[in-house]
Amino acid sequence: MNLKLSNILLGILMTSVFATEAKAQPAKQNLNISFLLDLSDRIDPKKNPGIYQRDLQYIKSVQKSFINHVRGKKMLLLKDQMQVFFNPIPKITDIDQLSQSLKVDFNPKTSKKDFLNIDKIYTNNPTKIYQRAIKDGNYVGSDIWRFFKSNVQQYCIKPQHRNILVILTDGYMYHKDSKIEVAGKSSYITPQFLSLKKLTTANFPAVMRKNNLGFITFPYNLKELEIIVLGIKPSVNNPYEEDVIKQYWTDWFKAMKVKKFELRTTDLATNLAPVINDFIQGGYKQ
């Protein structure tokens, strides 16, 4: 066999091996991570000192877990992405460019420079977004409910990927354009709302059942979506507020058949880093 023919056969063999390996790669190994940032007055340093810095640290923890995952794959098998969403879009300088820079896509053509840049991008640009939103001071709320209604299926779920949505919020939902109540269900909750509904005692589950309380849900099957909510910060005026907030979110996610979810109250980033990493690496069992 001459050298030319040998090289051709070797090339065919290697192509077949790579194709088989790529085909065998489990879909869950292709990560599609989305952030949904709540840039309401919860990030106001005067109202909640330290919250926005903690958000930034949570974002970094997710980014590090994502990079560790990507580095553990063969270049030929890279098909992973990460992006950031807001609702509504904050009216701050260069938001389009900043948002676009945070949309990263790793594929077989990804260069070493891209790997090095993501750490810098996910350090500098989220900081710019938060600081500009704070400087603007026009906190219009965060319409998480409408994001789920209109965008979550199209924006956060990609075929042949393990889809993870990271929501940074205090657990309350409110936006002036999405204040709806229908037969007990609502598109929002606030401390005042929960107090008005008498959800301030250990008997809150029975009160919720009796009055059909909960978030207005949608007829979606989000079985391909996993969600981790970080930063829940209940009011200290109600000792059951955390439990009530988590019950609202739990019922909502279950009604939409979310595959897996985790609800975490605000905590030091060092404490939540292992939780975030376990969730993204698939180690957390609900």
DSSP class per residue in 214-248: EE---S---TTEEEEEEEE---TT-TTHHHHHHHH
Count CB atoms within 10 A of the CB of residue 184: 14
Q: 2 exposed, middle or buried (CB, 10 Å; 0-12, 13-18, 19+)?
A: exposed
Strands (E), 86-234: 104-106, 162-168, 181-182, 185-186, 214-215, 225-232
Question: What confidence tier does 115 reach under pLDDT thresholds 50, 70, 90?
Answer: confident
Count CB atoms within 10 A of the CB of residue 95: 16
Can you read off the two tokens belonging to residue 122?
A: 């996910």
d(CA 78, CA 81): 9
Contact 171, 234 (CB under 8 A): yes
pTM of the model: 0.88
Give pLDDT, residue 263: 98
pLDDT tens digits, residue range 6-53?
Answer: 444 444 444 443 344 444 445 448 999 999 999 999 999 999 999 999
Contact 277, 66 (CB under 8 A): no
Any idea what the Cα angle at residue 75 is, between residues 158 and 155, rounded to 5°? Answer: 15
Q: Which domains, from first to last, does the chain contain?
A: 27-281 (3.40.50)
d(CA 125, CA 59): 11
Give pLDDT, residue 114: 81
Using the CB atoms, write b or e for 21-56: b if 16+ within 10 Å: eeeebeeebbbbbbbbbbbbbbbeeeebeebbebbb
Q: How many CA atoms lie within 13 A of 252 on its CB side?
A: 26
189 pLDDT above the threshold of 80 = yes
> What share of the chain in percent tops pLDDT 90?
77
